[in-house]
Amino acid sequence: MSLNRSEQMLYDYVLGQVEERHHWQDKVRGIVAQSAEIPAAVSRIDAELWRYYLERSEVTPVFVEAARSLGLKRTSMKNLAELLVRLWTEPRPRKRPPEEQGL
User: Which string of b and e fits 62-98 if b means at least 16 CB within 10 Å?
Assistant: ebeebbeeeeeeebebbbbbbbbbeeebeeeeeeeee
d(CA 26, CA 28): 6
In the chain the first and final C-alpha atoms are separated, in Å, by 37
Task: Give the model confidence (pLDDT) of 16-30 as tens digits.
Answer: 999 999 999 999 999
What was the pLDDT predicted at 75?
92
pLDDT of residue 5: 93
Position 100 confidence tier, pLDDT thresholds 50, 70, 90 = low
Whole-prediction pTM: 0.86
Residues 38-48, mean pLDDT to the nearest whole number: 97
Domain ranges for the chain? 5-89
